[in-house]
Amino acid sequence: MQGILLISHGPLAEGMLKTAEIFFGENIPQMKALVLNTQDDPEDFRGRLQAAVDEVNTGEGVLVFADLLGGTPCNQSAFVLNEKVTVLTGMNLPMVMECLGLRMSGEVAIDQLEETAKTGIVNFNKMLEEKKKAGRSRRRSKEEAE
């Protein structure tokens, strides 16, 4: 099973881990959150990052989810990259949840995680308005048919 490491500026990664635990149970195996606080030294973070990667890796590799492309956590992950470590940026909860679900079934597809991250972003107001319009249109069609 691949390890999962969530990295972020501030407590975002910890919050995502806690939220995932609501759905998948506490103490998810081979999953950890690592945060960079304002007073942290980037090189110290790099050392903690390497230790966290080593901790969650049982030989099947690690997926690292970073909050922001170009941010310090993401940039420091470049130092731990290898053929067994994949870093995805723009971390959001849908992609983390999808990863956990796929990991339980045995196969995590990076392309699928990228797509889930994108489709997880929705203008909810617009979606509801479109559903209302579609509902009115169906009612009119039904009334006209009668």
The single residue listed with the structure tokens 């929705």 is 122
pLDDT tens digits, 60-71 = 999 999 999 999
Number of Cβ atoms within 10 Å of the Cβ of 61: 17
pLDDT tens digits, 90-143 = 999 999 999 999 998 877 889 999 999 999 999 999 999 999 998 887 777 776
Q: Tell me what percent of the residues of the chain surpass a pLDDT of 70.
A: 99
Q: For residue 146, what pLDDT is reported?
A: 67
pTM: 0.88
State phi, psi for 113 to the nearest 5 degrees: -65, -40
Domain 3-121 fold:
Rossmann fold (3.40.50)
